[in-house]
């Protein structure tokens, strides 16, 4: 469970850097948000900032559940949050898999599969 947590947090850190780059105007939009824009418009840049917040929340929940870094107290709420994260990531797999952007499909789908697998491992532990 610790390895799954650390792998997820490392992956989320890389995704956070990617989303921060997008929010700051880096020309990598073809890998995110449907791949329609090379440089994201303002509304999608805000979406990238929201993604950063979501990634932070996911990391906090997984670290807490695994006992690696206790921020949220162990218990029913944390268990529910980790399962909600797993479902969110499974939905993310499907959303990335049907993206019109070939780059997003082939890059982000495997990444989200990895994250969902890590979340499932933590949830079941």
Question: Which candidate, 75, 70, 78, places its Cα nearest to that of 119?
Answer: 78
Distance CA 110, CA 38 (A): 21
Overall average pLDDT of the 42-67 stretch: 97
Give dist(CA 64, CA 95) in Å, integer: 27
90-122 burial: b if 16+ Cβ within 10 Å, else e:
bebbeebeebebeebbebbbebbbebbebbbbb
pTM: 0.93
Q: What is the pLDDT of residue 70?
A: 86
Report pLDDT for 97: 96
Give the model confidence (pLDDT) of 18-40 as tens digits: 999 999 999 999 999 999 999 99
């Amino acid at each position: 469970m610790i390895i799954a947590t650390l792998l997820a947090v490392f992956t989320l850190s890389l995704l956070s850097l990617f989303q921060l780059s997008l929010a700051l105007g880096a020309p990598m939009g073809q890998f995110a948000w449907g791949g329609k824009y090379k440089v994201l418009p303002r509304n999608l840049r805000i979406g990238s900032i929201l993604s950063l917040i979501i990634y932070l929340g996911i990391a906090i929940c997984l670290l807490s559940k695994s006992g690696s870094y206790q921020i949220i107290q162990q218990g029913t709420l944390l268990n529910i949050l980790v399962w909600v994260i797993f479902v969110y990531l499974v939905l993310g797999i499907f959303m990335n898999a049907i993206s019109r952007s070939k780059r997003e499909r082939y890059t982000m789908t495997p990444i989200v599969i990895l994250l969902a697998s890590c979340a499932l491992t933590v949830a079941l532990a």
